[in-house]
Amino acid sequence: MATLIDNRYGKARVRVLKVNKNGDHHSVFDFDCCVLLKGDFSDTYYTGANDKVVATDSTKNTVYLLAQSEQFKSVEEFGVIVGKHFLATYSHVSEVQVTIKENVWDRMRVTYEQREHDHSFVRSRDVHTASIISVRGRPAQVTSGIEDLLIMKTTGSGFEGFYRDKYTTLKETKDRVFATMVTASWTYNTATNVNYVNAVAEFKKSVFDIFALTYSKSVQETLYIIAKTALERVKEIDEIKLSLPNKHAFGFDFTRFEGVKNNNTVFQPVEEPSGLIEGTIKRAASKL
Amino acid sequence: MATLIDNRYGKARVRVLKVNKNGDHHSVFDFDCCVLLKGDFSDTYYTGANDKVVATDSTKNTVYLLAQSEQFKSVEEFGVIVGKHFLATYSHVSEVQVTIKENVWDRMRVTYEQREHDHSFVRSRDVHTASIISVRGRPAQVTSGIEDLLIMKTTGSGFEGFYRDKYTTLKETKDRVFATMVTASWTYNTATNVNYVNAVAEFKKSVFDIFALTYSKSVQETLYIIAKTALERVKEIDEIKLSLPNKHAFGFDFTRFEGVKNNNTVFQPVEEPSGLIEGTIKRAASKL
Amino acid sequence: MATLIDNRYGKARVRVLKVNKNGDHHSVFDFDCCVLLKGDFSDTYYTGANDKVVATDSTKNTVYLLAQSEQFKSVEEFGVIVGKHFLATYSHVSEVQVTIKENVWDRMRVTYEQREHDHSFVRSRDVHTASIISVRGRPAQVTSGIEDLLIMKTTGSGFEGFYRDKYTTLKETKDRVFATMVTASWTYNTATNVNYVNAVAEFKKSVFDIFALTYSKSVQETLYIIAKTALERVKEIDEIKLSLPNKHAFGFDFTRFEGVKNNNTVFQPVEEPSGLIEGTIKRAASKL
Amino acid sequence: MATLIDNRYGKARVRVLKVNKNGDHHSVFDFDCCVLLKGDFSDTYYTGANDKVVATDSTKNTVYLLAQSEQFKSVEEFGVIVGKHFLATYSHVSEVQVTIKENVWDRMRVTYEQREHDHSFVRSRDVHTASIISVRGRPAQVTSGIEDLLIMKTTGSGFEGFYRDKYTTLKETKDRVFATMVTASWTYNTATNVNYVNAVAEFKKSVFDIFALTYSKSVQETLYIIAKTALERVKEIDEIKLSLPNKHAFGFDFTRFEGVKNNNTVFQPVEEPSGLIEGTIKRAASKL
């Protein structure tokens, strides 16, 4: 015999473009949405009886219907709406997991006007993520994050004094190129009245401020200070998870060529292998 | 104040090709390896003091050195070796997480010989995964899996009797195309004398046997029977996690064209949105 | 003033799955199709007047309608059908360019049966390409090819005696790993009664036979012999274009570690940079 | 017999990061480079004799050596330098093809400073391309372009009055979402004193100005006006090739749900199929 001990199902990669129109001035939400349901669904696994199965096609329809009928100021709010809807509509659903990747569009700048354009946009590189877990009887748990934010500094970073043994060939350096693709996520300590858009913006600013203005003794140290700074700036966050791959750009080895010195200006970026540094930082309880 | 509550670091995407040579008859392990360390590493986060930090470059070196010096019959065994090495070498390391993606190479067939070639290979599409968690003082926990195994049946699959409400537009069907990209993983109930290569092969056979030979009433039902069958065939596994996206291929809507009937022979595959069905199946305790 | 000197338009990435059913025994064509039209379409560029524009949506519809109504034994034949249709239907179309990528599905093997399954399939890694140019008043020009065929030999390949100067650091070798992703295409010297499926199969066999059984003195030499062999085997081809990236797997540098020798068994595959070798080989005119 | 009628070879995906340092104020060139050689190389194809073959590894070395020793204000200039070098160094090379993809890095903005940061950067989404063909005895032919520039307007675009027949199901519209990924390239009419950076910037501005400020009657019309505008603004360009895929975002079909109207605010973006519109526009000779 075999027992089903966990399951979830739904529709992934539902692509939604919602345009909010104020005359000719438009703003957009452009996101991919995955909605997974948990609940009383074991029958279809054991016997193929589908009478409780909400078709994933219906789940997709629902996402578009809610996107049109509901107002929301962030994809996090939309995820909460979707969770509430499924719990309210289907008594045999116990949990709704909504995962969202929001594409970021900047307003287009045109030559002949000093302002940004009303309804023309240029896609940015980084992605805004959101994850909303709605369990029956509990407040929704909202997580925000960013992905694919690729940043680089060409000085102001070193790596010295590390452990040396017979496996070590890396040289110490006070001046290296430091490039990383920031992935971060944080869960809010409340689901009430959070300005999610502001939280993401403040986190991103913390990344830029620390990355640019602080000498980096290790990727780890930079990771910690970024998280600490963001926790200070956003009160609705208690904990941040950060993943900073070290996207190496090594100085090319010019020593093999006669009469050629290394000016420390030409580097060879490599995709793999790649260092990977991760950490979770928590706001310490205030001492009382 | 901010506290570091979790952390790990290491080298990702270390690409290894190990060739085992028996004269001109070669066999290969071709894999990407990620080695992450946990332990007493908080200093570098808090202060940038790196004296306990094993450089990720040294970790990479170690992987290649072990790949050459050690004999192994599977990447799972290699992962166990790597875990042991880091725990034995660095007393301040408490846990080693090795994640491996093994590329599968089939032997090349040549026209003029009836047998497979000795040292020429063709890359297969699917990937073999392995994850080995080594915690100081405990046996290594070994997980195997597969990814990117794309399969399709053009009949022998339906979806009927599902929940209908005002959000439902999907029609019932007794005959649809069913395509899915199998992702599966399972943790072994022992780390002693497991034939990992055989376990992966038996799991894959279970997928093929059930997928091909069983009428599918729902993706969920097929998922369950595949897992149940694999649990029966491989005694070293107690639990299997399966993820089966429903890679839809819809019948093209010919009704919009005058005099054209739908012969149910032409379909439009779509990448997104995509159904997603997941389940974890456990071997039930034997009744006594 | 600015003049439109060339233009084409149409629908790209039209995904078609055609199932040929003989009872429960099915065979499939699974392909992505791009159909581009040339002709009297300059008005819409100059003035936005669309009256001659066949909507790309209609082009897509036509592909599905033809896929259902027509019989074909290869995607090359389907491309010829599509070209004929557009030239016959729209007098202002002068040229139709059909580009096809066919996904290859192998029949699934199941444990309990000795034969391959009737209607279950496993996706292969390589892709079959076809390009059909139909110009009004001329026979269709049919090109076939393959892509993404990744092959490797772990011995039987060297690279010696190459040009040396102050830019050279590469060492000569009699025994290296040779991996390459084969991209090839060839145009048929006739559009009548060609067995396209056989031509692709014979080309692929030529790749395998030469790659496996011939010592490679350079990628260039291997490229030439593959093409020469295929020209000998397939009479309907006069010319073959081959692109063989050299997907390097370098021996890891063990000399930096005390007491460690290089056994020539552990290699580091690198995605980039990558050698790239290309050549076009033509059947020489028979001497008379 | 089989004859080699065309060939080229070299190193692809050579990744270069060149940092120009003025104290702490840095600027960067970050690009992937492919260098292919043509010339007297047939021996290695026919016989495996490699004595004239410049190893692709040496080609890679040369790229890094030139990147360090030479000054250049654009990747186009670097490509010209590389071409000259190979023609000057190897008398049996007749043509050098350099293809470059330059990653665009914007300066990072930090909260506490009003100016952009000196040596910290954020990667942009679009890519700058360059192609430099250097044939012995002729001036280098320089082509610039852009790729991956994804833009969208949520109104100000329609598609009406197109050809209707039995294959047509698309409805006419005066108000649709228009999204496209701009790919463009242009060859300069001179290789002397061209400000390539300015040309790329002016082309991009032309895209934005026309896309945002002009009502689009068809993708074709927009393509033409963009090219015409860029030709007016950049005198060193005579001809522009543009490819504008129509990345559809269809209004979701709300008519299937009782009591639900379509507000024209919710769209379903689809990756495939995708319209594809291409055109080459040439500056007309001045009338005399």
- pLDDT tens digits for range C186-242: 999 998 899 999 999 999 999 999 999 999 999 999 999 999 999 999 999 999 999
Report pLDDT for A55: 98
CB contact under 8 A, C15 and D227: no
Q: What is the pLDDT of residue D286?
A: 58
Mean local confidence (pLDDT), D100-127: 92
For the stretch D133-156, pLDDT in tens is 999 999 999 999 999 999 999 999
Out of B61, B159, B170, the one facing A167 most closely (by C-beta) is B61
**Quick check: A195 and A142 in contact, CB under 8 A?**
no
Instruction: Give C65→chain D minimum CA distance, Å.
Output: 9
How confident is the model at residue A288, as a pLDDT? Answer: 46
Task: Choose among D256, D258, D271: nearest Cβ to B272.
Answer: D271
Tell me whether residue D11 is one of the annotated catalytic residues: yes
Of the partner residues B166, B271, B272, the one whose CB lies closest to the CB of residue D258: B166
The stretch A229-243 carries a mean pLDDT of 97
- Put simply, the chain C residues between 37 and 96 with a CB less than 8 A from any chain D CB are 41, 44-62, 65, 89-90
What's the pLDDT score for residue A284? 84
Least confident of B277-286, C269-278, D274-283: B277-286
Reported confidence tier of residue C286, pLDDT bands at 50, 70, 90? low
Mean pLDDT of A76-86: 98
State the nearest Cα–Cα gap between A275 and chain D, in angstroms: 18
Query: Do residues C124 and C147 touch, judged by C-beta distance below 8 A?
Result: no
Under 8 Å CB pairs connecting chains A and C tally to: 15
Q: Is the pLDDT of residue A114 over 80?
A: no
Taking residues D235-263, report their average pLDDT: 96
Mean pLDDT of chain D: 96
D242 touches chain C (CB under 8 A): no
For position D288, what pLDDT does the model report?
A: 47
- pLDDT at position C155: 98
pLDDT, tens digit (0-9, with 9 covering 90-100), for C81-98: 999 999 999 999 999 999
Closest CB to C263: pick one of B24, B68, B120: B68
Confidence grade of residue B113 (pLDDT, cut at 50, 70, 90):
confident
**How confident is the model at residue B53, as a pLDDT?**
98
- Phi first, then psi, for residue A76 (nearest 5°) are -60, -45
Closest CA to A18 of A2, A35, A32, A39: A32
Given a cut of 50, whether residue D284 has pLDDT beyond it is yes
C121, B64: Cβ pair inside 8 Å?
no
Q: How confident is the model at residue C53 (pLDDT cuts 50, 70, 90)?
A: very high
Mark yes or no for CB contact B256/D169 under 8 Å.
yes
Instruction: Report the percent of chain C where pLDDT is more than 90.
Output: 94
B16: closest chain A residue by CA: A273
Q: Between B169, B256, B272, which is nearest D256 by CB? A: B169
pLDDT at D191: 80
Nearest CA in chain D to A266: D18
A69, A175, A268, best to mutate vs chain D, most D CBs in 10 Å: A268
Q: Can C56 be counted among the known catalytic residues?
A: yes
User: D18-30 pLDDT, tens per residue?
Assistant: 999 999 999 999 9
Whether residue A11 and residue B275 make contact (CB cut-off 8 A), yes or no, is yes
Cβ(D41)–Cβ(D52) below 8 Å: yes
Percent of chain B with pLDDT over 70: 99
Residue D89: band (very low, low, confident or very high) from pLDDT cuts 50, 70, 90? very high
The confidence score (pLDDT) of residue C288 equals 47
Q: Is the pLDDT of residue A115 over 90?
A: no
Partners of residue A176 in chain D, C-beta under 8 Å: none
Q: What is the mean pLDDT of chain B?
A: 96
Predicted local distance difference test score (pLDDT) of residue A36: 98
Instruction: Please name the residue of chain A whose CA is at the shortest distance from the CA of residue D26.
Output: A154
pLDDT score, position D66: 98
Q: Which domains occur in chain C, in start order?
A: 9-138 (3.10.270.10), 148-282 (3.10.270.10)
Mean of all residue pLDDT scores within chain A: 96
Please tell me if residue A163 touches chain D, with a CB cutoff of 8 Å.
no
pLDDT at B288: 47
The pTM (predicted TM-score) of the whole model is 0.97
Catalytic residues of A: 11, 56, 248
Is B167 touching D (CB cutoff 8 A)? yes
Which residues in chain C are contacts of B208 at CB distance < 8 A?
Answer: 108-111, 120, 122
Closest CA of chain A from C7, distance in Å? 26
Judged against a pLDDT cut of 60, whether residue D287 lies above it is answered with: no
pLDDT tens, residue by residue, B140-161: 999 999 999 999 999 999 999 9
Q: What is the pLDDT of residues B250-267, one digit of tens each?
A: 999 999 999 999 999 999
- DSSP states of chain C as a string? -EEEEEEEEEEEEEEEEEEEEETTEEEEEEEEEEEEEEES-HHHHHH---TT-B-HHHHHHHHHHHHHH---SSHHHHHHHHHHHHHHH-TTEEEEEEEEEEEEEEEEE-TT-SSEEEEEEEEEEEEEEEEEEEETTSPPEEEEEEEEEEEEESSSB-B-S-B-STT--PPPBSS--EEEEEEEEEEES--SS--HHHHHHHHHHHHHHHHHHS-BS-HHHHHHHHHHHHHHH-TTEEEEEEEEEE--EEEP-GGGSTT----S-EEEE-SSSEEEEEEEEEEPPPP-
Quote the DSSP letter at residue D171: P
